[in-house]
Structure 1
Amino acid sequence: MSTFVSTQGLEDLKNELENRKKVLRPEIAQKISSAKELGDLSENFEYHEAKDQQGQNESRVMELEDMLRNVVIVHSKTGDSTISLGCTFVAEKDGTKKNFQMVGSSEANPLEGKISNESPIGQAFLGSAVNETVKITTPGGEIKYKILEIK
């Protein structure tokens, strides 16, 4: 399955992978080694905690490597008449303007305005044009955004 990312998103994934391999992996190995020296492993909390961290780290390393094998770089689009993957746009809700960027799921960060093309909100925005009103149904009710600008 393809992983859609921006150029910055690709760099972020590579940096995370490098950090996990070169920094976290040795730190966790050291924790395991230190915990083994404490003796009986059957009731050694430090050992089991470090092994859990190792499993989580290695799982994420494999996930990142898989994502990077299947990466598709999406370049920022300018001049589009409708919202598509890679574009930035401005929408207004209840008189408040907000900048959004349509990104792949691996880059999504709603707090930064980066919304996934696979999310319900992203799906609602995709294909919308300037001056259109987008209706999004949420558990708390319907939200309406007016598209002001596509950059």
Structure 2
Amino acid sequence: MSRAPMTKAGSERLRAELDRLKSSERPRIIAAIAEARAHGDLKENAEYHAAREQQSFIEGRIGELEAALSTAEVIDVSKLGAGSKVVFGATVDLEDEDSGEAVTYQIVGDLEADIKQRLIAVSSPIARALIGKSEGDSFEFRAPNGVKRYEITGVRYE
């Protein structure tokens, strides 16, 4: 079994989510199921079925997080010291060569990726195109809406 890379910060976020699910969400759902059961006939009890569905989702997420964390290779990116070369964990400043728009991404493990927070998965097309490049390099990759060209204006490890 290969070990999936994960940043130290991502590992901490996922552990916090796991703790929250186990310590507050799971007991809340168990109480909601018990309350719904007390209402009687379970066949036509929408509250009971909704609570059971939510319990199933939470238990699935707990299992997913436990599995991911148990097989993760946690990497402290502040200690990588790869200089201006882009490797896993790098925070990369980019400039779109067509529009001039600047954007910053951090390359993280697949499970911790969140585009809204500018965390891109190491397996994503843009991350794969970035890996191995250095500050000052230009590159292109195929995005869903066509080929994009960027220049790497900064690389740091935080």
User: For this structure pair, what is the TM-score category when the shorter chain's length is used for normalisation?
Assistant: over 0.9
Give the Cα separation in 1 of the matches to 2:32 and 2:150: 50
| Mapped pair 1:13 → 2:17 | no
The amino acid across from 1:101 in the alignment is Q
**Are 1:121 and 2:122 an aligned pair?**
no
Question: Residue by residue, what CA displacement relative to the aligned partner does 1:3-26 show, whole Å, maximum 9, x if unpaired?
Answer: 322221111111111111110001
Equivalent of residue 148 in structure 2, options 136, 143, 149 = 143
1:100 aligns with 2:105: yes
Q: Deviations over 1:56-98 (max 9, x none)?
A: 1111111111111112112223443421101112110121222
Percent identity over the alignment is 32
Following superposition of structure 1 onto structure 2, how do residues 1-151 of structure 1 map, counting pairs within 5 Å? 1-76=2-77, 77-93=80-96, 94-151=99-156
Q: What per-residue deviation string (whole Å, max 9, x for no partner) do you get for residues 37-71 of structure 1?
A: 11111111110110011111111111111111112
Structure 1 residues not aligned, in runs of 5+: none
**Matching residue's letter, 2:90:** C
CA contact (8 A) 2:14 2:112 kept: no
| Alpha-carbon distance between aligned partners in 1 of 2:86 and 2:57, rounded to the nearest angstrom | 36
RMSD: 1.4
Is 131-140 or 21-30 further displaced after alignment? 131-140
Paired residue total: 151
- TM-score, normalization: structure 1? 0.93
Write the distance in 1 (CA, Å) between the matches of 2:30 and 2:4: 30
Please give the secondary structure, in 1, of the residue aligned with 2:88: coil
- Which ranges of structure 2 fall in alignment gaps of 5 or more residues? none
> In the alignment, residue 51 of structure 1 is paired with which amino acid?
R
